[in-house]
Amino acid sequence: MKSTATIAATAAGTTANVTVPAAGIWGWFGMTTTQSVSWLSLHPMAIPGLACYAAVTVGVPAIMYVTAHKKWKETSQRLCDAFWESATENPEVFAECITHWSDRGQ
């Protein structure tokens, strides 16, 4: 995300000197002047590329987060179910473990 902002700021902030016709009647007589313009105004075809780069650098991590979050919830549920299933299969062992763990603090 920071790289996207850095590239956009650099592209918008970078300037180039361009020679253009002078304003007014002097331009009719062939006089020129030098103007400083942004890099993006000289290369407008770079704007879609910059937008695609931003979409990828922001979108891919977001998709990875959603996928990982879903897997995390599924795994947590599976482990929780397995824990309680083992506790109900062996209630004596489970009760003994709780008693043993509760005595450790004393």
In a domain, 95, yes or no: yes
Q: Supply the DSSP string of the chain, one letter for each residue.
A: -HHHHHHHHHHHH-EEEEEEEPSTHHHHTT-EEEEEEEHHHH-TTHHHHHHHHHHHHHHHHHHHHHHHHHHHHHHHHHHHHHHHHHHHH-HHHHHHHHHHHHHTT-
Same structural domain for residues 63 and 106? Answer: yes
Number of domains present in the structure of the chain: 2
User: Do 77 and 38 share a structural domain?
Assistant: no
Instruction: Give residue-wise pLDDT tens across range 53-72.
Output: 888 888 999 999 999 999 99
Per-residue model confidence as pLDDT tens digits over 10-26: 766 777 777 878 888 88
Residue 92 lies in a domain: yes
In a domain, 54, yes or no: no
| Predicted local confidence at residue 40, as pLDDT | 78
For residue 49, being part of any structural domain is answered with no
pLDDT at site 105: 53
Q: Is residue 9 included in any domain, yes or no?
A: yes
Q: pTM for the complete prediction? A: 0.49
Residues 102 and 75 in one domain: yes
Residues of the domain holding 101: 59-106
pLDDT in tens, 81-104: 998 898 888 888 888 888 888 876
